[in-house]
Amino acid sequence: EAIIREEGERAAYEVGVPDLHPEFIRLLGSLKFRTSYGQNVLAHSIETAHLAAIMAAELGANVELAKRGGLLHDIGKAVDHRVDGPHALIGADIARRLGASEELVNCIAAHHGEVEYKCLEAILVEAADAISGARPGARRESLESYIKRVEALERVAHSFQGVAQAYAIQAGREIRIIVKPEEIDDLAAIRLSKEIARKVEESLEYPGQIKVTVIRETRAVDYAK
């Protein structure tokens, strides 16, 4: 219990909201020991708070509200194994019972679209949550979804004429395409990389960016006798 309280206080201090209700502190500390798709939920909450605050400052919104909403948006995950319902609504209910403002309650409740936004800060919290979760390397994919993504990437490359082989590497963040040199010249290889990149953008969903590398190899062989 002491470790949980210490972790909650550390998170609140790091984000800059030291006057949180003790129950919020306890719930935040509990998130230190929860993960979502391999991402630590407390670390994700801290990152979401920072991102939401930055966006709020840029847009002239309420930075304090965005910061608190980002930090507390996933508190429902601390108890969702004991309480039925979506974690966003569970968290919003907890915040309401602890006397949080309706704007803060809305930031928590609306971050997965279960309820409508009532303030700009709720939109910013949802955006910050999505950015933190989608950041490359933030979350582990299931093996099945990873294999499907890699296979889809290779299929896109193979759909173009002149492609001999295609390999997705770097956990699907790069596709290397080997072309038939008798069919694809150097200029065509440059065009092909752009066309494949465009088709990947149009037909696949993926975090971050994917590098498209086209390799054209020509070998000249002779023998000294």
Q: Write the CATH number for 71.
A: 1.10.3210.10
For the sheet containing 174-179, what is the strand order? 163-169, 174-179, 211-215
Per-residue pLDDT of 63-111, as tens digits, reads 999 999 999 999 999 987 788 888 999 999 999 999 999 999 999 999 9
Please report, for the domain that includes residue 204, its CATH number: 3.30.300.20
**Complete DSSP assignment for 144-175:** HHHHHHHHHHHHHHHTSTTEEEEEEEGGGTEE
- Write down the pLDDT at residue 116: 92
Claim to verify: residue 126 and residue 71 sit in the same structural domain:
yes
pLDDT at 138: 54
Task: State the Cα–Cα distance between residues 171 and 193, nearest whole angstrom.
Answer: 19
128 and 157: one domain?
Answer: no
Token digits for 6? 């210490």
Among 99, 116, 134, residue at a domain's last position: 134
Residue 49 tokens, joined: 């708070």
Residue 220 lies in a domain: no
Whether 206 is covered by a domain: the verdict is: yes
Its domain, for residue 152, covers 143-215
**Mean pLDDT of the chain, nearest integer:** 89
CA dihedral 52, 2, 36, 86 (to 10 degrees): -80
If pLDDT is split at 50, 70 and 90, which confidence band does 142 have?
Answer: low
Same domain, residue pair 26 and 60: yes
| Between residues 209 and 40, the one the model is more confident about | 40
Same domain, 173 and 106: no
pLDDT at 37 over 80: no
The total number of structural domains that make up the chain: 2
Same domain, 57 and 78: yes
